[in-house]
Amino acid sequence: MASILFTEDHEWINNDNGTATVGITVHAQEQLGDLVFVELPEVGRKVAKGEAIVVVESVKAASDVYAPVDGEIVEINDAVVNDPSLINQAAEGEGWLFKLKLSDEGQLSGLLDAAGYKALVD
């Protein structure tokens, strides 16, 4: 069963048999405010954990989104490029950013579960 994990940089990751969906958390989009622009990485790009790979811009600020683990981008969510407000409406659902083929599933063990993330942002 897939379970959502979180980073201290406010990304969420949902691993499903080695391919993980990644986005920003509800908390992160609340801090940013209304999103107006999203720049996603190219499919096929290999990324390293902690690497800045997405830019999201709101009316208040621009922010980087980091790769939560090593892997290769296998899909991007064009819907959020065309309508960044999808992230505000459903950050942890339809507002996902990209899918990543994991290089090392062991890296997931260093991420936060829902309770750990809640404790971080409270």
Put residue 10 in one of left, alpha, beta given phi > 0 → left and psi -120 to 50 → alpha. Answer: left
CATH code, domain with 24? 2.40.50.100
Q: Is residue 114 assigned to a domain?
A: no
Residue type, 102: L
> Domain range spanning residue 65?
4-103
> pLDDT tens digits for 64-89?
999 999 999 999 999 999 999 999 99
Q: What is the dihedral of CA 78, 96, 53, 109, to 10 degrees?
A: -150
Q: Is residue 14 assigned to a domain?
A: yes
C-alpha dist (Å) from residue 93 to 41, 54, 109, 119: 19, 17, 22, 22
Number of structural domains, the chain?
1
Q: Is residue 33 assigned to a domain?
A: yes
> pLDDT tens digits for 8-59?
999 999 999 999 999 999 999 999 999 999 999 999 999 999 999 999 999 9
| Stated pTM of the model | 0.95
Q: Is residue 116 assigned to a domain?
A: no
